[in-house]
Structure 1
């Protein structure tokens, strides 16, 4: 079914039906018969209200006007404008539900019609697509062709160190890298510090090796990506050489290197020589940077043969030399007068030398230089005079009875409060004021009680040595006094024995006298002459006991009474003789003095079955010169040759050699022969000074009666054959 189109008949006159001069014909259903007509009066038209038209809405009254005939006079005819033809009929749009608009509904919103944009320029778009496709094709061909060529091989431009492995298969690359680096583990690495070699590292000792397979595997021989192809065509790529190592072995080896490099920073101090203060300048230390050293060794191993400059970090002391120089005036005032200690009616006087012997200036943790007074040592031996023998504390100790150590019980008592005394002395030194200090007493426990003493396991001889001297010389007084101070001393495990600390300054107030001593290359008289014989005897006893030597100085000239290469010179406070108790047992010092000999015996628990000392022959002999001297106080010297000798300590256990010490070589200068002009020589009792300022005096002289031609030799019947 379709909509009807326009009629082809001419349109009827729309006004014919409503002309007033023609009857109106109604439809049959609306006509009234006469019989049905209502009974009404004469028909009248109903009058409408003003302003109300009888016509339907939208119908104008002009349609009822009579059309003037053609050619009639009147108004000129109006042009008739016909409406435009109706558009083709469209089907009525239907929706699921149709709602009839009601009078009270709001007016509908105006419809906005969006006109479609004009179509794009198709030729321009086509050209853009063609260009894009062409470029993509060129890129694909430029990437795909090289990528196919490189597939399965190492990318061109790849190298490992100075070895080029680009465009090789993985197997070929492995072979080439092996040829270059397989000998690196046989090339030693030199370890350098400040331009000098301090050690050599064998790579095999550290488990160092080149991981060739792992290095080549990093090259990735699969199908390369675009960036990899670009890099291969335009540049080079260096693969890091993989190094495998035994971390534990390398760490252990670097730890040994550190023992050769590390140097502890030496703190400065002000110490006294007699009562004259002098500055011991501080020294920087070094610490090996172990992680940086490991990295440097690995790099050097790759570039072998090579040397490694060891990376070190300086360690600064707490205070510089300038701070100690500034404290020298305070150090001089500290020993300008004595200090008196009082306890009620008891009084003890500390002389300037006593103060100096127990005073030093050092930097604290904040780097401030302060006085440090050793009150414990200062009152040692004087405490009984302040407290009384009956009330003073007593440490546990040992005496030798019937050839065996016997315990001497400790005792609690009253003692000087050393902490308060040290503070009071430091205050007097810094601020001045009265030099009379009342001491306070406190109940004092012995440092070594009976239980601790028994745990030291002191039960047998472990070392013994004897030296000899002529009777009755002044130096014998000093030897006897030092032996008294050392007898009964106990050195605990890990403790360090120091002769200077144990004996102290050899002053006349402490029982020492002036005797012959060596200053530079001549004999002089000095307080404490002969103490080097005590040091040498102690050194040999510790040597045969297997204890660790931590510091000694040989004499400048060989002294005939001592075994060559096994002597020790001391000069308070600089030159010292020290050994360390490197066992888990205590060590008891026993000294015995006769008119012609000194014996030192060390008691403990044996660590070794036997310790021997091997001595080489004398080499590089040099003859002495002869000279005359006419200055006052001249002491003649008989002279002796110089030579070089080496000693080695051997340790035995269960009848076998357990270990050997590093050989120790000593070079002796020739002792000049000095002839004193008549009337200028000094006697042993003359108070000869120490001579030139700043020189060291070895308090173990070569006296005329002990010169090599005096016929004095070590006694072969002495213990241990000395």
Structure 2
């Protein structure tokens, strides 16, 4: 191992390690002592050249001694250390300096002079502190005392509605509010719209209850702030009464109210009574603001008024009355003449009455009044005349063979394209021009298929009615024609049968003839007179089959061959016979007739053992008047009294009464006795044959033929 050399650790005496030839001067206490210097120098070991006796990083200057006199050593040489720092001076102050000469030195002696604060300034500050302290003391005194008193109680001036709870503890306030408001959720609230009551709301049923505890919890009962104390001493605090709401239940009740209040706008229209156009004026609707209604009911519940006005917003119709008045001229022109439908050499004329029955004017989405024509309704039953029986579509139906229904298969065929026909008729009405329209044909699928017909349950006769009439009069032609039109129709469950929709306007093109009928309070000759005989026969069949009566109009006079209260008069398009199939089975209509009778039978599945009519005694009997008339159209009448009768339909099943209809009261006017002045000298009118264009039925000995008024 090589010699590591001299140790670099400093010796115990750091001055011993300083080399003699080092320019570093010895300490002052040794520099001027020759004995010490020599003694120490004699025993020192010389270090090799370039080797420092000090540890690395230690400067020899730290061992230099300060000479006795600053600036020069004992031999007059300059000292090796910088002169000592000057003595510390005091912090400069505002002073006056006195200079005192001592020998050759000038000594400055500072003299501190303290400036005196004016007495007036000290007094001002002392007064300000006194005022501030006094105000602070008064503020603390004025706040602390009432705040301590109010601590733990409802702040004074607090009230809920008309109940004051200020100064009470929380428990006392709850008890007082319970005394005042318990049972309030049992008080009904009337709901009003435009001054009329539409509903009565029971708060508890609607999910509304008083929450007294939550109400008192809103009041401040802790240590009040200064602002709260000030408000309590100078003002009132109206605390709202809190309520608990069952959201789902309350919303459901509001929706129920809306169903009673909401009404859609009544859109105006131009419709026809016969062939006379008339305006149905539009009416504004209304809709309930359900959100505002909920808040109004809550306020009403809290304040306990007798009723509350509900917020309702108006709903405007698409077009006003002025728009329909302007279209009235177009509506009159629309039915001024018939419209002819053409398919090759086949032609069908839509009479003015048929056009009017399927036409109305309504406003579109832009508020423009336009014609709307129900082409399907207009051509129903006429398609065979346009395309032929062999090519026309056929619904599934039934025929009666051997006393039982037999299925007649449905068939797809050609029919009138109702959509294109409706557009063509509307164009003719709005643009004018010729009133002959070539029809477009389309493949028509039957609406009643074989499978659906089999499921209808048409299997037995549920009721049959027959009425009679005298032979060989013009009205017999119309009775037979009407019976042919309704024969074989199947009324599905839920559907409503309309005699006018099937027969339509009884015009000459369809085989009807003028005949005697009741018009207002007298007999007259009208086209299709006698159809009411079929209507009465069908009404009796539907009545005793237990089907729902939708619309029927008794004759103005009592016709003696009909049972009182069991007759029905029709007059296209104003008076109609309608009944609804309210059973779960289909109803097949079958008709038959002779020269003196007509029969209507309904086939289905029997629901009741029997249906009977309880008929009251005749009341309010009134005698007829006698009047004389003249003119070629006069028809004499013998006259008959008027009376009132009430019928109640009773349903039996399994030998028990299962249902009773509401009683129906029929009032018959007295049939006036009419004396025709010219009729006595005029020859009897010829009874018409099949054409019947000039057929007139003359009254018999009692003013009617077999008691027939002719309708």
What SS does the aligned partner of 1:506 have? coil
Give distance in 2, aligned partners of 1:28 and 1:685.
Answer: 183
Contact 1:546–1:651, Cα closer than 8 Å, also in 2: no
**1:218–1:538 CA distance, 2 compared to 1 (3 A):** farther
1:513 Cα deviation from its structure 2 partner? 3.9
- The aligned counterpart of 1:626 is 625
1:425 matched residue in structure 2: 425
Q: Distance in 1 between matches of 2:685 and 2:107?
A: 159
Match status 1:267 vs 2:267: yes
Query: Distance between the aligned counterparts of 2:241 and 2:154, measured in 1?
Result: 15
Task: Name the structure 2 match of 1:716.
Answer: none
Distance 1:637 1:183 in 2: 73
Task: Give the distance between the partners of 1:611 and 1:138, measured in 2 at CA.
Answer: 102
State whether structure 2 residue 451 is matched by structure 1 residue 458. Answer: no
Residue matched to 1:240: 241
Distance 1:141 1:283, change over 3 A: same
Task: State the match for 1:601 in structure 2.
Answer: 602
Q: 1:656 to 1:348 in 2, by over 3 A?
A: closer
Contact 1:522 1:637 in 2 (8 A): no
1:507-549 CA distance string (max 9 Å, x none)? 3333334455555555544334455565566566666667666
Cα deviation, 1:260-279, whole Å, max 9, x if unaligned, reads 55545443333344544333
1:350 Cα deviation after fit: 3.8
Deviations 1:579-626 (A, max 9, x none): 55566665544445564454352636x7x6679688695798464563
Distance in 2 (CA, whole Å) between partners of 1:221 and 1:566 is 81
1: CA distance, partners of 2:687 / 2:525: 7
Check 1:353–1:582 CA distance in 2 against 1; reply closer, same or farther (3 A cut): closer
Pick closer, same or farther for the CA change 1:453–1:232 going to 2, 3 Å: farther
What is the aligned partner in structure 2 of residue 346 from structure 1? 346
| 2:487 corresponding residue in structure 1 | 487
Q: CA deviation at 1:559?
A: 6.6
Aligned to 1:395: 395
Indicate conservation of the 8 Å contact 1:550/1:578, yes or no. Answer: yes
Answer with 427-436 or 130-139: which moved more: 130-139
Q: Provide closer, same or farther for how the CA distance between residues 191 and 483 of structure 1 changes in structure 2, counting only shifts above 3 A.
A: farther
2:372 is matched with 372
Rounded Cα–Cα distance in structure 2 between residues aligned with 1:136 and 1:348: 109
> d(CA) in 2 for partners of 1:653 and 1:154?
75
**Structure-2 separation of matches of 1:226 and 1:558:** 94
1:676 to 674, 677, 690: 674
CA contact (8 A) 2:568 2:577 kept: yes
User: Alpha carbons of 1:325 and 1:127: their partners in 2 closer, same or farther (altered >3 Å)?
Assistant: same
2:458–2:588 Cα contact (<8 Å) kept? no
- Distance change (3 Å), C-alpha of 1:617 and 1:419: same
Q: How far off is 1:411 after superposition?
A: 1.4
Deviates more, 1:461-470 or 1:354-363: 461-470
Residue number in structure 1 paired with 2:51: none
SS at match of 1:327: helix
Q: Distance in 1 between matches of 2:296 and 2:328?
A: 46
Contact 2:628 2:677 in 1 (8 A): no
Alignment map for 1:568-583 (pairs within 5 Å) = 570-580=570-580
Q: Aligned equivalents of 1:158 and 1:617: distance in 2?
A: 73
The equivalences for 1:132-143 within 5 A come to 132-143=132-143
2:20 corresponds in structure 1 to none
- Cα distance in 1 between the residues matched to 2:321 and 2:440: 36
Distance 2:435 2:146 in 1: 97
Say if 2:555 and 2:668, in contact at 8 Å, map to a contact too.
no
Once the two structures are superposed, the pairs formed by residues 376-387 of structure 1 within 5 Å of their partners are: 376-387=376-387
Q: Which has the larger displacement, 627-636 or 383-392?
A: 627-636
Larger deviation, residues 675-684 vs 343-352: 675-684
For 2:407, the equivalent position in structure 1 comes to: 407
Note the 1:532-681 alignment, pairs <5 A.
534=534, 570-580=570-580, 586-593=586-593, 595-599=596-600, 601=602, 603=604, 621=620, 623-624=622-623, 626-630=625-629, 632=631, 633=634, 636=637, 638-643=639-644, 645=646, 663=662, 666=665, 668-669=666-667, 671-679=669-677
- Indicate the SS of the match to 1:677: strand
Question: Contact conserved, 1:271 with 1:279, CA < 8 A, in 2?
Answer: yes
| Distance 1:289-1:551 versus aligned 2 partners, 3 A rule | farther
Q: Distance in 2 between matches of 1:288 and 1:703?
A: 64
Mark the runs of 5 or more structure 2 residues left unpaired by the alignment. 1-72, 78-103, 111-117, 689-698
CA–CA separation in structure 1 for the residues paired with 2:212 and 2:105: 99
Residue-by-residue CA offset, 1:347-396 (whole Å, 9 max, x unaligned): 44444444444433332332222222333333334333332322222222
Residue equivalent to 1:320? 320
Q: Greater shift after overlay, 613-622 or 416-425?
A: 613-622
C-alpha contact 1:557 1:642 (8 A) present in aligned 2: no
Q: TM-score w.r.t. structure 1 length? A: 0.65
Q: CA deviation at 1:237?
A: 0.5
Q: 1:164: how far off?
A: 3.8
Deviates more, 1:646-655 or 1:131-140: 646-655
Indicate the larger mover: 610-619 or 568-577: 610-619
- After superposition, residues 686-697 of structure 1 pair within 5 angstroms as none
In 2, Cα distance between the equivalents of 1:194 and 1:644? 41
| Cα shift at 1:210 | 4.0
Show CA shifts across 1:69-105 (max 9, x none).
xxxxxxxxxxxxx9986577xxxxxxxxxxxxxxxxx
**Structure-to-structure mapping, 1:299-318, within 5 angstroms:** 299-302=299-302, 306-309=306-309, 311-318=311-318
- 1:99-118 equivalence runs, <5 A: none
Q: CA offsets per residue over residues 28-51 of structure 1, 9 Å max, x none?
A: 9899xxxxxxxxxxxxxxxxxxxx
* Alignment size in residue pairs: 586
The structure-2 alpha-carbon separation of the partners of 1:644 and 1:292, relative to structure 1 and needing over 3 Å to count, comes to farther
1:11 corresponds to which residue? none
1:572, CA displacement in angstroms?
Answer: 3.0
The answer on whether the counterparts of 1:636 and 1:675 sit within 8 Å (CA) in structure 2 is yes
Equivalent pair of 1:211/1:244 in contact (CA under 8 Å): no
* Residues 525, 684 of structure 1: 8 Å contact kept: no
Alpha carbons 1:614, 1:650 under 8 Å: kept: no
The 2-side partners of 1:545 and 1:480 are apart by 23
1:397 shift after superposition: 2.7
Alignment deviations for residues 649-687 of structure 1 (CA, whole Å, 9 cap, x no partner): 879899796x887x4664x55613412234267999999
Name the SS for the 2:319 alignment partner: coil
Matched-pair contact (CA < 8 Å) for 2:219–2:239:
no
- CA distance in 2 between counterparts of 1:30 and 1:249 reads 116
> For 1:419, what is the secondary structure of its paired residue?
helix
CA contact (8 A) 1:174 1:212 kept: yes
* CA–CA separation in structure 2 for the residues paired with 1:452 and 1:428: 39
Contact 1:189 1:307 in 2 (8 A): yes
In the other structure, the counterpart of 2:33 is none
Q: Is the 8 A contact 2:569 2:575 kept in 1?
A: yes
